[in-house]
Amino acid sequence: MNTPLALTNITNADLHCHSKVSDGTLEPEALAARAKANGVELWALTDHDEIGGQQRAMDAALALGMPYLTGCEISVTFAGKVVHIVGLGFDHHDAAMNAGLKDTRGGRTERAKEMSDGLAKVGIKDAYEGSLKYVSNPALISRTHFARFLVEAGHCSDVSDVFRRYLTEGKPGYVEHKWAKLGDAVRWITEAQGIAVIAHPARYGFTPTEEYALITEFIAHGGRGMEVVTGSHTLADAVKYTETALEFDLLASRGSDFHSPTESHTDLGKLDFLPGRLKPVWAALESRIHHPA
């Protein structure tokens, strides 16, 4: 068992990444090995809307001597936009959490078929069937799987290009979708003894007023954390959200958002450390960390 003192010394925590259980390309065990090889001292797998990979990730991490926190990234609709809420340290057997996530991912297949219809109108045939080839978990077809198919089929040069031309608001393959409510997502995590964290806040393109509403409502529902250093932020974003986390007294999180060795520019554990002025979210999750025997 690590002592609390040793825990506060952790700097290379990576608390955000994806496996084949959602839209990553590696199995949970391969991610654990990669995190360990990259020097990660505390790890969490955070698949989208799905915790079916948690036990495998935890078992693999502990076998490698790497402390583990349970994780998940929940898709939420807030002010007409998609916001991601990361849950850390929850009980992955919690019934309400499992039921809530099942509902959240429920509409994905229908949405994917509509996306495919939209793409067919601009001459891209059978995108649903094509994308399914990239899906490991049938309950979790995502835009990322469409992007991989469109690259393979030669419609675009890379995944970012697909998002820009086909899969974002106003583009032919974009389908409006109603995800979980902010309060529900925060409650599922919190009532399962975890901490809710606003993922990559710089990514939403909110106005200052909308962002203020997001943060204050998140806190009112019991949310306590915010990602500051993430593969989805620039250095300038990290500087800005360091101040935001301090202003709202939020715990700070750090994670690569790694999806794939060929698609992700930030590898597991290969990112800046949290600024020393911030309170790391893992210091508040000591009792929730699973330690190697």
8 Å CB contact between 281 and 88? yes
If one asks whether residue 233 binds ligand AMP (CB under 6 A), the answer comes out as no
Location of structure tokens 């909308």 = 210
CA torsion angle 120 121 122 124 (round to 10)? 10
- Give the x-and-dash track for 238-277 against Mn ion (CB under 5 A): -------------------x--------------------
Q: How many residues does the chain have?
A: 293
User: Are β-strands 42-43 and 13-14 bridged in parallel, bridged antiparallel, or unpaired?
Assistant: parallel
If one asks whether residue 49 binds Mn ion (CB under 5 A), the answer comes out as no
If one asks whether residue 160 binds ligand AMP (CB under 6 A), the answer comes out as yes
- Give the x-and-dash track for 63-82 against Mn ion (CB under 5 A): ----------x---------
Of 14, 19, 20, 23, the one binding Mn ion (CB under 5 A) is 23
Q: How far is the CB of 108 from Mn ion (least distance, A)?
A: 13
Residue 99 corresponds to which tokens in the numbers above? 């039921």
Nearer to ligand AMP, 83 or 278 (CB): 83
Q: How many CB atoms lie within 10 A of CB 276?
A: 7
If one asks whether residue 163 binds ligand AMP (CB under 6 A), the answer comes out as yes
Nearer to ligand AMP, 58 or 115 (CB): 115
If one asks whether residue 145 binds Mn ion (CB under 5 A), the answer comes out as no
Nearer to ligand AMP, 7 or 31 (CB): 31
If one asks whether residue 259 binds ligand AMP (CB under 6 A), the answer comes out as yes
If one asks whether residue 84 binds Mn ion (CB under 5 A), the answer comes out as yes
Contacts of 268 (CB under 8 A, 6+ apart): 14, 17, 31, 34, 35, 38, 40, 43, 256, 258
Residue 79 corresponds to which tokens in the numbers above? 């002010």
If one asks whether residue 227 binds ligand AMP (CB under 6 A), the answer comes out as no
Burial (CB count <10 Å: 0-12, 13-18, 19+), residue 47: buried
Of 143, 155, 200, 224, the one binding ligand AMP (CB under 6 A) is 143
CA torsion angle 45 48 51 57 (round to 10)? -20
Q: Which residues in 21-50 contact ligand AMP (CB under 6 A)?
A: 23, 48
Q: How many CB atoms lie within 10 A of CB 100?
A: 21
Nearest residue to the partner ligand AMP, using Cβ = 142
Measure the CA–CA gap between 246 and 65, rounded to whole angstroms: 33
Nearer to ligand AMP, 41 or 257 (CB): 257
Report the candidate in 190, 216, 189, 215 with the shortest Cα–Cα distance to residue 202: 215
If one asks whether residue 256 binds ligand AMP (CB under 6 A), the answer comes out as no
Facing residues of 230 across strands? Answer: 255
Nearer to Mn ion, 7 or 202 (CB): 202
Only segment of 8-16, 156-164, 239-247, 269-277 that touches ligand AMP (CB under 6 A): 156-164
Interacting residues with Mn ion (CB under 5 A): 23, 73, 84, 199, 257
Interacting residues with ligand AMP (CB under 6 A): 23, 48, 75, 142-144, 159-160, 163, 259
